[in-house]
Amino acid sequence: MPSAPSPTGPPGSEEALELKRFRCPLLIFNPLSREEAEVAVRHGFRVSVVGREDARAVAEIGRSTGSRAVVHLKVNTGLGRYGAEPEEVPELVQELLTWPGLEVEGLYTHLADSLSRPPRASRRQLEIFEGTLEALEARGLYLPIRHALDSGGLLAFPGSCYDMVRIGNLLYGLDVAGDAREKLDLRDPWALKARLGQVRSVAKGTPVGYGWDFRAPRDMRVAVLPVGYHHGLGLEPVSKTYRFSNILRNTLKRLILRLRLAGVFGVRACNGYVEVCGRPAPIVGRVFMGHALIDVTDIPEAEPGAVATLSVPRSLVNPRLARVYFQGGQALRIRSAAETEPLEVPSMDRAVGG
C-alpha cells in the first residue's frame, strides 16, 4: 500500500477493528453489508468490491461521510467465488474512477490451486489477470496496487508479485505446498506453553480421569496441565473433502487414535503428547474442559511450575489466551484478549500461555 509498510488483510470488519491498533493499512477481503461497510469506511479501512452495486453503496457511504472510500476490485479469474468477470473489468473500472466518494486503489484475484504442484489452474488464472491488466492499460487506466499471490503462489510464481503479495502460511513457518523449505529458512514463530500444576504419584492399577478410561499400567507420576479442550487441546479440524489422500489421512488418524486407546504404543496416550523439559510426556485419559493429565514418570525434573510446550493447531487455540511476545529471546510484552493495547511484562516468573 502507498506510503505505509506491512499492510494486513483481515477477512471482515470485526477482525479489522481488532487490528486497527497496529496502525497499518487494512484491506478487508470479504464483501460487506451496508452496515459493515459504513464501519469500515468510517475507520479508514480499504474495502473489497466485486461489482457495480456494492461499489455504488460504498461510494454513497464515502460521500455521506465527506471522505473517499478506498476500494480494491476483485476479479474472478477462475476460483468461482467473489469477483467481477474479467471482460467487465475495463468498463467497470473506467466508470468507478469517475464516481465521487470512491477511490479505486487496487485490482486483485485469488488463485484456485496454488498449493498444487504444478499449479496449472493458477497459471491460467494469472494469464487471465495479466490480460485484464493489459486491457486496462489499453484504455489508459492504471491502478497503483495489483495483487494475486498467496503463500503457495509466491513460491510457484515469484515473477508475478505485482505490487504486493498476501502471504499468511509462510509468516507462520508453514510449508503448505511442500517445497518452501527448499527455498526459505522457515521457522515457526508461535508456540503454546503452560506451566505444570500439581504432580502426584499414582500407584499401578489406579484409575484417573473422567470415566476411569485410564488405569496406571505401572507406578507413575502424573502432572496436571491447566489446558483443556476449551483452550483447543485435543481438538482437530476435520477435512470434508472427497480427495482420496484426505480420506486416507483421516482414516489413519482414527486408526492411530484407537491403537493409542488400546495401549498398543505403551501408555494409553489417546490425545498425543506434550513436551516437558525437552522430553515427550503422553497425555493420559480424557482431556478435560480446562485441564489435562500427563505422564511425567520418566521426567524427574518435571515439578509444579515446569513449562510444557503443547502441539495445538493455532486455528483452534482459544483467542482469549494471553499472548507473550518475544524478540531475541527476551519477552517484550504480554497481552490478553480483553486488552486493547499490549501491556509490558512485569515479570516472566509468572505462569503464562503464549
What is the distance between the alpha carbons of residues 166 and 74, in angstroms, rounded to a whole number?
14
- Is the model more confident about 129 or about 285? 129
The pLDDT, as a whole number, for residue 22 is 67
Q: Does 278 lie in the same domain as 240? A: yes
Indicate whether 2 belongs to any domain. Answer: no
**If we measure between CA atoms, which residue out of 133, 115, 123 comes closest to residue 75?**
133
Q: Which of 127, 151, 182 is the last residue of a domain?
A: 182
* This prediction's pTM: 0.75
The pLDDT, as a whole number, for residue 149 is 96
Least confident span in 62-71, 177-186, 299-308:
177-186
Least confident span in 128-142, 148-162, 189-203, 304-318:
304-318
pLDDT at 104 over 70: yes
309-325 pLDDT, tens per residue?
998 888 888 888 888 88
Peptide bond just before 118 cis, omega within 30 deg: yes
Indicate whether 299 belongs to any domain. Answer: yes
Q: Does 31 lie in the same domain as 178? A: yes
Least confident span in 277-281, 304-308, 338-342:
338-342
| Domain residue limits at 347 | 319-354
CATH of the domain at 283: 2.40.37.10
The pLDDT, as a whole number, for residue 322 is 86
Greatest mean pLDDT among 8-12, 14-18, 179-183: 179-183
- Is the model more confident about 103 or about 179? 103
> Who contacts 343 (Cβ-Cβ below 8 Å, separation ≥6)?
333, 334, 335
Residue 154: C-alpha distances to residues 8, 26, 184 (Å): 17, 20, 12
The pLDDT, as a whole number, for residue 46 is 94
Averaged pLDDT of the chain: 85
CATH of the domain at 71: 3.20.20.10
The strand pairing partners of 193, in sequence order, are 309
Indicate whether 4 belongs to any domain. Answer: no
